[in-house]
Amino acid sequence: MLLFLLACTEPPPAAVEPHAFPAPDDYVLAGPGGPITSFDASALDQPCAALTGGPEDAEHHNLVGMYDGWLVLPWAPEDGGGGITLFDFADPCAPVKVGEAYSELMRESHTLAIAEVGDRTILAVDAHHDGDRGGIGFWDLTDPTAPTWLSDLELPGYHYPDAYFRVALSTFWQGDILYVSAGFLGVFTVDVSDVSAPVILSQWTETAFMAGSFHVIGNLALASSAGLTRTMLWDIGDPSDWQLLADWEPVDETGRARPYYFANVSGHYAFFARKTEGGGPIVYDIADPTAPVRVGAGYSPEGDGGYVFRHHDVLFQGESNFGSRYDFSDPTAPTEVARIDMPGDFDTLTPIGNVAVASVDEGGDPGLATQVFPWAAEPDARGPTAELTNPKDGATWVPVSGRIGLSFDEQIEPLSAHAGSLRVWRADGEAVPGRFYGQETLVNFVPDAPLDADTTYVVEVPAGGIADVSGNPTEATLRFSFATGADLAEVPW
């Protein structure tokens, strides 16, 4: 009987040799990347440099970000007339201007959506014309020494001086689509396949919802408010038929719904910078997007939240009158461990390696609207970890129009995501060509063509692949699979 069973047992499937991908580190940045400087303990939480814009700078600053090894600083007031400056930031206490430009159309921007479009590097920002016209605009950053204003697109229903109700507030880039959050106008989807002539495709609105930001992880989107409470998670795998997964209001430690200024996503967490009657971050786990779970919250009685960012086990939040750093090693109890003081409306404290870049959007001291504060003695040496993927491992019935997203526990260098560091192939080993997009902590892969029906796909982020803004790559290999049909094929690794 034993011999019969052995004879009838099929041998395990042979391992499939996938397509030969580039090496994980096969990319070159134009700039030197993030900080590589050490600091004495006495220098921590003290300003060591200021970042300024051009001669037209109204000193209305917001977040900064890294792209292609350069630090990108937008500077523009709410009513337009601003610019963009790029810095060599390897020594954060001695930043060097690389390039700078001004446009009378540029308006205050709350995100930095940058993408490679053909052979050009394009940044999407908010825009404002004279009178009651405005929407979004595009910078060409291909030559970092000479940024140029490329084009703009007016949004129907735009109205200013309502600074939040009916104006563009944030942008998010994924493939040929730019998602534009615009307050009570909802979220516009814009075709940006030709950034010289962008076209509005659709306008999504929801009653009693003021869109502040729109974060996309593969086929999952977090639609968050701008100063209100309502929050939604959507499955946008079918671009023409969004499916609501969750609709809720973040609550504080007393169970009371709290308004928040802006939200952010990192790993499997969504963060909400509470405002009014105190500040501090409220944290939700969105690993199951159909049932977000409140994890914990930090509370600052004197605060009034602006923006919140994560760097591994540390959270950074602008609180209007000061900036706070929170220990996030226990997500159920974020604990304030340090404060940074700076004159002005202090909304933004952005972690860039072992320094934080603090910005105010009004009321700052002349020439000091953005300052650099070291917060850790040694340069960041820990690579990013992807805590959330979409699709999930083992997912079935993923639409053939689907995209692939990863959410990391710190900000990444967007150009470190490429065909060698984010590998996608069919179960038979055939590679899937596509394009890569990175924004803050999120990376998205958009296939060049629709996926095949009833097919299993494999996604791999190899060790030594996607890197953070300081150049530290992923330390462990991540691999998962999903199917576009009912059955997930066994994939021998």
CA distance linking residue 308 with residue 347, whole number of Å: 9
Would residue 234 count as lying in a domain?
Answer: no
DSSP state of 4: H
pLDDT at 22: 93
Long-range CB contact pairs, 198-205, < 8 A, 24+:
198/136, 198/138, 198/151, 198/153, 199/153, 200/153, 200/155, 200/156, 201/177, 203/156, 204/242
User: Are 170 and 217 within 8 A, CB to CB?
Assistant: no
Summarised one tens digit per residue, pLDDT across range 241-281 is 999 999 999 999 999 999 999 999 999 999 999 998 999 99
Summarised one tens digit per residue, pLDDT across range 213-240 is 999 999 999 999 999 999 999 999 998 8
Summarised one tens digit per residue, pLDDT across range 371-425 is 999 999 999 999 999 999 999 999 999 999 999 999 999 999 999 999 999 999 9
Would residue 434 count as lying in a domain?
Answer: yes
The Cα-based distances of 79 to 76, 83, 152, 169 in angstroms read: 8, 13, 16, 13
Mean local confidence (pLDDT), 311-332: 96
Answer whether residue 10 shows pLDDT above 60. Answer: no
DSSP state of 8: H
pTM equals 0.94
* pLDDT tier at 490, thresholds 50, 70, 90: confident
Mean local confidence (pLDDT), 440-451: 97
DSSP state of 259: -
Summarised one tens digit per residue, pLDDT across range 36-93 is 999 999 999 999 999 999 999 999 999 999 999 999 999 999 999 999 999 999 999 9
* pLDDT tier at 14, thresholds 50, 70, 90: very low
Give me the chain's average pLDDT, please. Answer: 93
CA distance linking residue 427 with residue 493, whole number of Å: 10
Number of domains in the chain: 1
The dihedral built from the CA positions of residue 330, 386, 90 and 121, taken in this order, carries a sign that is: negative
CA distance linking residue 303 with residue 280, whole number of Å: 7
pLDDT at 5: 35
Would residue 410 count as lying in a domain?
Answer: yes
Q: Which domain holds residue 446?
A: 2-29+382-483
* pLDDT tier at 7, thresholds 50, 70, 90: very low
* pLDDT tier at 164, thresholds 50, 70, 90: confident
Answer whether residue 3 shows pLDDT above 80. Answer: no
- Extract the tokens encoding 167: 């104006």
* CATH number of the domain where residue 389 is located: 2.60.40.3710
Would residue 349 count as lying in a domain?
Answer: no
CA distance linking residue 272 with residue 227, whole number of Å: 10
Answer whether residue 159 shows pLDDT above 90. Answer: yes
pLDDT at 4: 35
* pLDDT tier at 163, thresholds 50, 70, 90: confident
Would residue 438 count as lying in a domain?
Answer: yes
Answer whether residue 2 shows pLDDT above 80. Answer: no
Tokens 């051009």 sit on residue: 54
Specify the higher pLDDT residue, 109 or 492: 109
Nearest Cα to 58, choosing from 107, 16, 12, 20? 107
Would residue 325 count as lying in a domain?
Answer: no
Would residue 402 count as lying in a domain?
Answer: yes
The Cα-based distances of 206 to 186, 187, 209, 408 in angstroms read: 7, 9, 6, 29
pLDDT at 1: 38
The dihedral built from the CA positions of residue 200, 206, 210 and 212, taken in this order, carries a sign that is: negative
Mean local confidence (pLDDT), 205-210: 91
Nearest Cα to 54, choosing from 80, 85, 79, 78? 85
pLDDT at 13: 45
pLDDT at 366: 94
pLDDT at 493: 62
User: Are 451 and 225 within 8 A, CB to CB?
Assistant: no
Would residue 447 count as lying in a domain?
Answer: yes
